């Protein structure tokens, strides 16, 4: 009897049991697979859970308040844009008010739906409908007179050479969303072939 078997037999003899002790049963099984453990899946976060809800009416609310109210209802995918079409940055949402929403109030949608609010500054009047951003169509120069210089720039190819001058004085045109185009060259409808573009502009509260 080898040492390992003798040790096992002595262990069985020392145990006070009512049933027989099988030395083989006390031997560890070679390469026995470990017991599998199951890790519970994490519960979905509040932001990722989707349910169907009626969209509230946000028109007339301050933009920050509208966003807070939307999140309280479970809508976390939120966007906003300038209803006046000037492509202004909304640096402080509480200084803007909601004029429109892309999903009609009362419509039932999933809470993962993106809500897009059209907004203007608090002291401004909401337009009858959101002004669409201008864009070049079929490679031709769009009519950009009256558009903000920033929106006009966005309507052209990112590599276009654009010069903007003040038509009223010799001021620098720095905040382009606060300036409107008075004249343009080339004229609307001209084929765009990489030629430089020239704008004259004044501030929105001024006349061309």
pLDDT tens track for 98-110: 999 999 999 999 9
- Delineate the domains of the chain, giving CATH numbers in brackets: 52-121 (3.30.10.20), 149-203 (no CATH)
The answer to whether the predicted template modeling score (pTM) of the entire model surpasses 0.75 is no
8 Å CB contact between 162 and 184:
no
In angstroms, the CA 144 to CA 200 distance is 11
At residue 51, the pLDDT reads: 94
- The Cα–Cα gap between 154 and 133 comes to 8
- Tell me the C-alpha distance between 49 and 202, whole Å: 49
Among all chains, which residue has been given the structure tokens 């006390």? 26
Residues of the chain with pLDDT under 70: 1-48
The strands making up 162-166's β-sheet, listed across from edge to edge, are 162-166, 197-203, 179-185
Cβ–Cβ < 8 Å for 133, 154: yes
Q: 98 with 66: CB under 8 angstroms?
A: yes
List phi, psi (to 5°) of 115. -100, 130
Residue 12: in which H helix or E strand, if any? helix 3-14
Measured at the alpha carbon of residue 139, what is the angle toward residues 134 and 187, in degrees to the nearest 5?
A: 70
The tens digit of pLDDT for each residue in 132-154 reads 889 888 899 999 999 999 999 99
């Amino acid at each position: 009897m080898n040492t390992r078997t003798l040790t096992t037999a002595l262990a069985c003899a020392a145990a006070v049991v009512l049933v027989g002790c099988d030395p083989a049963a006390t031997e560890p099984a070679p390469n026995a697979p470990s017991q599998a453990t199951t890790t519970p899946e994490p519960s979905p976060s509040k932001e990722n859970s989707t349910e169907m809800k009626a969209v509230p009416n946000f028109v007339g609310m301050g933009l920050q308040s509208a966003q807070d109210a939307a999140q309280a209802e479970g809508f976390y995918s939120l966007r906003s844009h300038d209803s006046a079409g000037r492509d202004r940055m909304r640096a402080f949402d509480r200084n803007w008010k909601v004029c429109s929403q892309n999903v009609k109030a009362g419509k039932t949608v999933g809470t993962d739906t993106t809500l897009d609010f059209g907004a203007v500054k608090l002291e401004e009047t909401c337009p009858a409908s959101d002004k669409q951003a201008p864009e070049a169509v079929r490679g031709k120069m769009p009519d950009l007179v009256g558009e903000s210089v920033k929106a006009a720039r966005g309507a052209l190819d990112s590599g276009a050479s654009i010069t903007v001058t003040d038509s009223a004085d010799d001021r620098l045109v720095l905040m382009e969303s606060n300036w409107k185009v008075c004249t343009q060259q080339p004229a609307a409808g001209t084929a765009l072939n990489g030629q430089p573009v020239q704008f004259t502009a004044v501030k929105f509260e001024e006349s061309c």
